[in-house]
């Protein structure tokens, strides 16, 4: 049995932080559960959006590196992030996104699930996918989106590879995935019994060149492990199949181990805890700039370099929509 249980979070590169906040909190109605900084580059924010309590598996996070050029499509990258919504929600979402002039694709059925692809304000490829799979979810009462349509968390990520054989070997032998189905050139892999947050899609594009990080692209995908022991066991298994990793890095709200899958995409193992409530009350998540203890001595200097963020005007009670 795999120590990896599903998606923990996905981190992407954004443009200006205020535009990112307006889109994810104001339009998508996700809760900003942690306003912090990139611990390796404290000159930029690290913004975490999730459900009402910031459950692992619901986090979509961003480094707003507004100075970076737009990323380049290609292989060796995670090229789309799917977010789970309740069955029957896509009509609501199609109307809402159109109302806010969001670039929307055509609804499609993927592995038996209805999906609505679209792009965020900085070009990140996303999709809303209807799923009834059980998952941890706490509604956000401050969302402009009614509870019955709110985003439930992460569903899957889609990765493009020039050659996927070695990636597939890592997924199955090193991470505990099993092949679930094949469709239209995509292979879907699942952890456990599959379901929301436990699936990953891989396509092979042998004639497409390597993509590049930049604004509007996924930086890394983090996979859940229950605790420190599970993380060490998962790391040991990766080493056994020839995948080098970093040491365990304390991120304060969770502990992390990073590694590249053979095609080049950056992966992470992240523990479920301690969680975002370790240094904030649930009622005030995301309100203040929160730093891990080792950055607190630099608070004044860090805060001076960060742009001010204003609560999106869209954040009105859902009943007003």
H or E stretch covering 271: strand 266-271
Where helices occur in the chain by DSSP H, the ranges are 17-21, 90-99, 165-169, 228-240, 299-305
Res 321: pLDDT: 39
Reply yes or no on whether the pLDDT at 177 is more than 80: yes
Using pLDDT thresholds of 50, 70 and 90, give the confidence band for residue 1: low
Res 319: pLDDT: 40
Closest to 272 (Cα-Cα) out of 200, 222, 198: 222
- The residue that leads in pLDDT, 274 or 133, is 274
Q: pLDDT tens-digit profile of 257-276?
A: 999 999 999 999 999 999 99
pTM: 0.96
- The third-level CATH classification (topology) of the domain covering 4-316 is 2,3-Dihydroxybiphenyl 1,2-Dioxygenase; domain 1 (3.10.180)
The mean pLDDT value for 114-122 works out to 98
Reply yes or no on whether the pLDDT at 192 is more than 50: yes
H or E stretch covering 268: strand 266-271
Using pLDDT thresholds of 50, 70 and 90, give the confidence band for residue 195: confident
- Give the C-alpha separation, 58 to 141, whole Å: 16
Burial class of residue 216 in the structure, from the number of CB atoms within 10 Å of its CB (0-12 exposed, 13-18 middle, 19+ buried):
buried
Task: Residue count of the chain, please give it.
Answer: 321
Mean pLDDT for the chain overall: 95
The mean pLDDT value for 111-135 works out to 96
């Amino acid at each position: 049995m795999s120590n990896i249980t599903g998606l923990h979070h996905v981190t992407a590169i954004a443009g200006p932080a205020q535009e990112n906040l307006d889109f994810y909190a104001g339009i998508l109605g996700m809760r900003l559960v942690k306003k912090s900084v990139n611990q390796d580059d404290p000159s930029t924010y690290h913004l975490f959006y999730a459900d009402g309590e910031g459950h692992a598996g619901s986090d979509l996070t961003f480094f707003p590196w507004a100075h970076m050029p737009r990323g380049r499509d290609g292989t060796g990258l995670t090229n789309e992030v799917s977010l789970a919504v309740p069955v029957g929600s896509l009509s609501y979402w199609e109307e809402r996104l159109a109302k806010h002039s969001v670039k929307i694709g055509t609804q499609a059925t993927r592995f038996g699930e209805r999906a609505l692809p679209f792009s965020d304000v900085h070009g990140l490829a996303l999709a809303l996918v209807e799923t009834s799979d059980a998952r941890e979810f706490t509604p956000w009462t401050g969302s402009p989106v009614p509870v019955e349509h709110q985003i439930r968390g992460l569903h899957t990520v889609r990765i493009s590879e020039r050659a996927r054989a070695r990636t597939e070997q890592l997924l199955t032998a090193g991470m505990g995935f099993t092949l679930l189905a094949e469709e239209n050139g995509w292979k879907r892999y699942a952890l456990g019994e599959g379901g929301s947050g436990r699936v990953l899609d891989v396509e092979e594009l042998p004639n497409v060149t390597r993509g590049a990080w930049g604004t509007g692209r996924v930086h890394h995908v983090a996979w859940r492990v229950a605790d420190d022991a599970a993380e060490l066991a998962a790391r040991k298994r990766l080493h056994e199949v020839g995948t080098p990793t970093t040491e365990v890095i304390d991120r304060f709200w969770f502990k992390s181990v990073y590694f590249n899958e053979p095609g080049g995409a950056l992966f992470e193992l992240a523990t479920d805890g301690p969680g975002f409530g370790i240094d904030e009350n649930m009622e005030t998540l995301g309100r203040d700039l929160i730093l891990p203890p080792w950055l607190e001595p630099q608070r004044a200097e860090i805060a001076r370099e960060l742009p001010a963020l204003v609560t999106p005007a869209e954040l009105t009670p859902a009943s007003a929509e």
